[in-house]
């Protein structure tokens, strides 16, 4: 599945290079119009990251996200700065289909596991953003990639399997925003080890060849941000390459 994405800081559409807030590109696009364009081109799921909230939970763009969710027909998946049950509940009530949880799942897994039980596994997606070290260990980063979490991806999957983990978004940080191609080997490994999980690939997509490579890796979906914003190809072209389920 093709999953178009936008990242927002202070209401503006942006992209970061490898998660670095100091290396930010701002696009002169309306968040609503951009998401509606993706919707009109056939997207079946949209992805939004609140980078303001990811960096500082006090600056979550809650009102804007509620407006966007209310004006879109396509299911919206939202992440960034979500730290409490109240925030998850608020987003779901506002029409967000699925909430993406990152750092908190690493730091306080018991809290997040309770949300799986309460809200349902379909409505929670884990964001597992990894730095792969020289030994091949997939170390999950936290706090908007500003620090390491000290836990491996595999250990977190094992932690959340008992509560029915269904959706996980995995980003190879070294590829994000670089448009150097996805880490398809990573997604092949994950799809093989954990076929019961819908893996969303993210990071590095630059061309339709990259889309096809991720399609063939066994991943369930692909998050595409910068390549669409810079008009390397359209959502329609990506869907032709990988038809949406």
Domain boundaries, the chain: 2-241
Record the tokens describing residue 67, joined without a space: 């407006």
Average pLDDT of every residue of the chain: 91
Does the pLDDT value for residue 233 go beyond 70?
yes
pLDDT tens-digit series, residues 188-228: 999 999 999 999 998 889 999 999 999 999 999 999 999 99
**What local confidence, expressed as pLDDT, does residue 118 receive?**
97
- Write b or e for each residue in 138-151: b if 16 or more Cβ atoms lie within 10 A of its Cβ, otherwise e: bbbbbebbeeebeb
Record the tokens describing residue 27, joined without a space: 């696009």
- Cβ neighbours of residue 231 closer than 8 Å, sequence gap 6 or more: none
The whole-angstrom separation of Cα 153 and Cα 173 is: 13
From the candidates 20, 56, 129, 133, which is the catalytic residue? Answer: 129
* Sign, CA torsion 217/220/223/224: positive
Residue 175 near residue 203 (C-beta atoms within 8 A): yes
More confident position, 58 or 97? 97
Our answer to whether residue 129 is catalytic in this structure is: yes
- Find the mean pLDDT for residues 220-244: 94
Residue 116 near residue 124 (C-beta atoms within 8 A): yes
**What local confidence, expressed as pLDDT, does residue 178 receive?**
58
More confident position, 99 or 20? 99
Does the pLDDT value for residue 72 go beyond 90?
yes
**What local confidence, expressed as pLDDT, does residue 227 receive?**
93
**What local confidence, expressed as pLDDT, does residue 176 receive?**
63
Please tell me whether the overall predicted TM-score, pTM, comes out greater than 0.95 for this model: no
Residue 175 confidence class, pLDDT cut points 50, 70, 90: low
Lowest mean pLDDT of 14-28, 87-101, 136-150, 227-241, name the range.
136-150
Does the pLDDT value for residue 41 go beyond 60?
yes
Q: Which CATH class is domain 2-241?
A: alpha beta
Does the pLDDT value for residue 241 go beyond 90?
yes
**What local confidence, expressed as pLDDT, does residue 19 receive?**
72
Residue 56 confidence class, pLDDT cut points 50, 70, 90: confident
**What local confidence, expressed as pLDDT, does residue 81 receive?**
81
- Find the mean pLDDT for residues 50-75: 92
More confident position, 12 or 176? 12
Residue 100 near residue 148 (C-beta atoms within 8 A): no
Our answer to whether residue 28 is catalytic in this structure is: no
């Amino acid at each position: 599945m093709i999953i178009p994405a936008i990242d927002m800081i202070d209401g503006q559409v942006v992209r970061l290079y490898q998660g670095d807030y100091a290396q930010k590109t701002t696009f002169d696009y309306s968040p609503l119009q951009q998401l509606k364009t993706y919707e009109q081109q056939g997207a079946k799921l949209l992805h939004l990251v609140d980078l303001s909230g990811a960096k500082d939970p006090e600056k979550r763009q809650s009102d804007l996200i509620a407006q966007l969710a209310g004006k879109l027909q396509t299911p919206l998946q939202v992440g960034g700065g979500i730290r409490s049950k109240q925030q998850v509940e608020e987003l779901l009530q506002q029409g967000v289909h699925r909430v993406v949880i990152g750092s908190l799942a690493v730091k306080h897994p018991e809290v997040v596991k309770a949300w799986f039980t309460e809200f349902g596994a379909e409505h929670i997606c884990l964001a597992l953003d990894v730095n792969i070290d020289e030994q091949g260990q997939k170390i999950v980063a936290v706090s908007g990639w500003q620090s390491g979490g000290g836990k491996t991806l595999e250990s977190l999957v094992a932690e959340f399997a008992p509560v029915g983990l269904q959706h996980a978004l995995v980003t190879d940080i070294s590829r994000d925003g670089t448009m150097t191609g996805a880490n398809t080997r990573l997604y092949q490994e994950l799809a093989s080890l954990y076929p019961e999980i819908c893996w969303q690939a993210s990071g590095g997509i630059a061309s339709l060849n990259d889309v096809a490579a991720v399609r063939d890796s066994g991943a369930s979906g692909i998050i595409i941000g910068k390549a669409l914003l810079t008009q390397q190809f359209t959502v329609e072209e990506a869907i032709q390459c990988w038809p949406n389920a």
